[in-house]
Structure 1
Amino acid sequence: MAAQPIYLDYQATTPLAPESLAAMQPWLGGPESISGWANPHSAHGPGRRAAAAVEVARGQIEALMPPGGQLIFTSGATEALNLAIRGALPALAPRRRIVTLATEHAAVRDTCLWLESQAHEVVLLPVGGDGLVDLDVARAAITTDTALVAAMLVNNEIGVIQPVEALAQMAHQAGALFLCDAVQGFGRASLPQSADMIAISAHKIHGPKGIGALWRRDGVALEPLIHGGGQEQGLRSGTLSPALCAGFGAAARLAGEQMERDLAHVAMLQKRALELFAGWQVNGSLEHRYAGNLNLRRDGLDVARLMSDVRRVAFSAGSACASGSGRPSHVLTALGLPSAAVRSSIRLGFGRYTSVDEIDRAAHLILDAADRQIG
């Protein structure tokens, strides 16, 4: 049997935590276990027990959120971000300006660009070579006709941590709402306490795929995207999965309990990786960065060929969401990198379950293949 590849693609998804799997298992029961498969929106006893499991999970996730808000379960962060952006705009009329960053995830960027075709004004704020937004440029763009400001806490491609609290304050000073895409930062970085909406995803914190959530501050008005039975405060119709909710809740609880330990672990792994990849250049700020994301480049490298040559390491050339699009990374391009530098960049993502030995072995394989390629 072939050995499992070394997994260094934590920004695409994270391994399911044993604690999350254990929390899900009681709600995956067969016909003999009614409570395990009952509809949590049913009024009978098994349904109420399933609903109670959902609410326990909701509380576990809300415990990591700012006070004074409620959590809405969704199918994932993409739906949560769409609900936040498109759902908030009707109540903010006649304001039609949306301000976001050029380096945002496609779930925000493409939604905003679609809204531009619907007569909304979209401003994509540039970033510097370090991947950080210029707050003076942002302040000038966030005018009194701005409805919404959206920014990612931790960038999914380069790991840069944006000054989201400052952006939230600017939004509020202009009378706008602030949305934070915290998918890569939830459980790993401080959330903006003054955000109006925060989108998160379970499978980026060692929970199951297929579930995410939008947290909204009390008083923020939203229009639903999905109509039907009126579940989730009337904002997201559809039957919830108690198993997915339970797994999400357990992953969030664990992330809160282990945050300091996890951060210390990835900082140690980053230090080791930087030693091994000495001579490679880091894309984005090293100072303002989540340590579990290293985006590196080496001049002259063909990353597509490198990935083909290094099958024993699971790593990426950028966002998994855009990897099949054929488009160059809009994030690296926004940093001002020429196309050759974009094509010579790799992303290494590691976390809770990554060992130093795995970093060492992966680096040896990648460096050896790069040396053979470049000569």
Structure 2
Amino acid sequence: MSSSARIYLDHAATTPMRPEVAEQVRDDLADGLAGAANPASRHASGRRAGALLEQARSRLAAALDVDPHEVLFTSGGTEADSLVVAGRVLAARAAGVPAPRLVTSPVEHPAVLDSARTAAEHLGAEHVLVPVDPLGRVLTEGLARAVSSGPVALVSVMTANNETGVVQDVAGVVATVRAASDQDCPGRSGYVPVHSDAVAALGRVPVDMHGWGLDALSLSGHKLGAPVGTGALVTRRDLELVCPTGGGRQERGLRSGTQDLVGARALAAAVELAVAEQREEAARLEALRRRVLEGTRALPGVHLTLPDEAPHLPGTAHLWFEEVSPEALLMSLDLAGIDASAGSACHAGVSRPSHVLLAMGHGHEAARSTLRVSMGLRTTVADVERLLEVLPGALEAARRAHTPRSGHLTPRDRDI
């Protein structure tokens, strides 16, 4: 089957560049904006590049309803997450806290979890995991205990899960942190900053950094139709962060490196479009998601990870299976011309249980045997119907290839 005939159902991993953004990038390259001048240079070409960079920052800020000075351009969501995690630990250490806490849920993206583990191993932090309910939502009792029992450098809870699509009550998370810390004034002793990785959520559900009371927010361009290598950390100007690296100290002194002007402009354009189209596109994707779930729930040994009433991302349908080889399932779909995934693309090629489903209380076999169908701008009803046509045969092949596995995962972090 030719690549042009393939059905792409892995938009949660990355989504094709939007035509409008691709056209803008092409025009910018034709105009010589890529590498034409350093935005920090003081000559005329540098000043023009700097002005265009700030224009992109302002456009992105307006789409997010934040201040332009709060926007820091990064290479993507992973760098943004790492920067805020390490930056907060180093800031707390500089303020004299010997072992600052990083409080996260166990269902966070690896960009947050691995950054927190690295900070615990090398920067003197303590990584505390708070439990989640069977839907993957943070339990407020555990969060309150974690915040009230020691100095906390940062709480990080993702807006929407990149695997299952469950949406957190971010405003409720912030309210719990404020109540448990008994401090809601930034800069005061005992104030606990809250960050959210909104990479999976932006453009799919409403995202409101200041309305929710957040101190920092991460986003990634390639999930929205911008080029890979674009992203941003949005952070309050008074949030104390220490740069974890040396270099030129661009982006408020926190992120070194000559800025990618073309990429920044592409990111701004993609976010503008995604936010403007969010409500209409969400309704369309929700109808496709319902069709996927309706067409699969009657198949033997197929389970919906989230119940109908769970808050979720439109366009992400997550399933788990009994006695199925996930590798064989994905291979069968691949041979039928369908691109889908078992979960986070950050673990592509690694056959192991989903840390998200394990935290939700599923066993190892269920956590291994999953399928994430994630849809986007180019997904059609015909694409979904083709998946439903192919899936029964793919499941049959995957069951024939199934080999029961067992094993024990050792917790790497302290649980509350």
TM-score bracket for the superposition, by shorter chain length = over 0.9
Partner of 1:126: 131
Q: Which 4+ residue blocks in structure 1 deviate beyond 6 angstroms? A: none
Q: 1:267-296 CA distances to partner (integer Å, 9 max, x unpaired)? A: 111111112112331113542111211110
Residue 181 of structure 1 aligns to which amino acid in structure 2? D
SS where residue 127 of structure 2 aligns? strand
Report the Cα offset of residue 217 of structure 1: 0.9
SS where residue 111 of structure 2 aligns? helix
SS where residue 73 of structure 1 aligns? strand
Residue 96 of structure 1 aligns to which amino acid in structure 2? P
SS where residue 371 of structure 2 aligns? strand
1:224 counterpart = 2:269: no
Partner of 1:158: 164
Q: 1:242-279 CA distances to partner (integer Å, 9 max, x unpaired)? A: 11111111101101211111111111111111121123
Q: Is the 8 A contact 1:35 1:49 kept in 2?
A: no
Larger mean CA deviation between 148-157 and 363-372 belongs to 363-372
Q: Is the 8 A contact 1:56 1:249 kept in 2?
A: no
Q: What TM-score do you get using the length of structure 2 for normalisation?
A: 0.85
SS where residue 27 of structure 2 aligns? helix
Q: Distance in 2 between matches of 1:3 and 1:116?
A: 44
SS where residue 163 of structure 2 aligns? coil
Count the aligned residue pairs.
Answer: 372
Q: Is the 8 A contact 2:352 2:368 kept in 1?
A: no
Partner of 1:2: 2
**The one of 231, 247, 270 aligned to 1:251:** 270
Partner of 1:366: 391
SS where residue 346 of structure 2 aligns? coil
What runs of 5+ residues in structure 2 fail to find an aligned partner?
Answer: 182-190, 401-416
Partner of 1:301: 324
SS where residue 346 of structure 1 aligns? strand
SS where residue 53 of structure 1 aligns? helix
Aligned identity (percent) is 34
Distance 1:332 1:204, change over 3 A: same
Alignment of 1:1-375 (within 5 A): 2-4=2-4, 5-29=6-30, 33-39=31-37, 40-68=39-67, 70-92=70-92, 93=95, 94=97, 96-117=100-121, 118-143=123-148, 145-173=151-179, 174=181, 175-191=191-207, 192-193=209-210, 194-279=213-298, 280-286=302-308, 287-311=310-334, 312-374=337-399
Q: Distance in 1 between matches of 2:365 and 2:140?
A: 29
Residue 276 of structure 1 aligns to which amino acid in structure 2? G
Q: What TM-score do you get using the length of structure 1 for normalisation?
A: 0.93
Q: Distance in 1 between matches of 2:285 and 2:398?
A: 29
Report the Cα offset of residue 355 of structure 1: 0.6
Larger mean CA deviation between 34-43 and 104-113 belongs to 34-43
SS where residue 240 of structure 1 aligns? coil
Q: 1:94-114 CA distances to partner (integer Å, 9 max, x unpaired)? A: 261111000001111111112
Q: Distance in 2 between matches of 1:351 and 1:23?
A: 21
Distance 1:66 1:267, change over 3 A: same
Residue 83 of structure 2 aligns to which amino acid in structure 1? L
Report the Cα offset of residue 148 of structure 1: 1.1
Report the Cα offset of residue 373 of structure 1: 4.2
Larger mean CA deviation between 2-11 and 146-155 belongs to 2-11
What runs of 5+ residues in structure 1 fail to find an aligned partner?
Answer: none
Q: Is the 8 A contact 2:77 2:218 kept in 1?
A: yes
SS where residue 275 of structure 2 aligns? helix
Q: Distance in 2 between matches of 1:340 and 1:11?
A: 23
Larger mean CA deviation between 345-354 and 20-29 belongs to 20-29
Q: Is the 8 A contact 2:90 2:244 kept in 1?
A: no
**Aligned alpha-carbon RMSD (Å):** 1.9
SS where residue 63 of structure 1 aligns? helix
SS where residue 232 of structure 1 aligns? helix
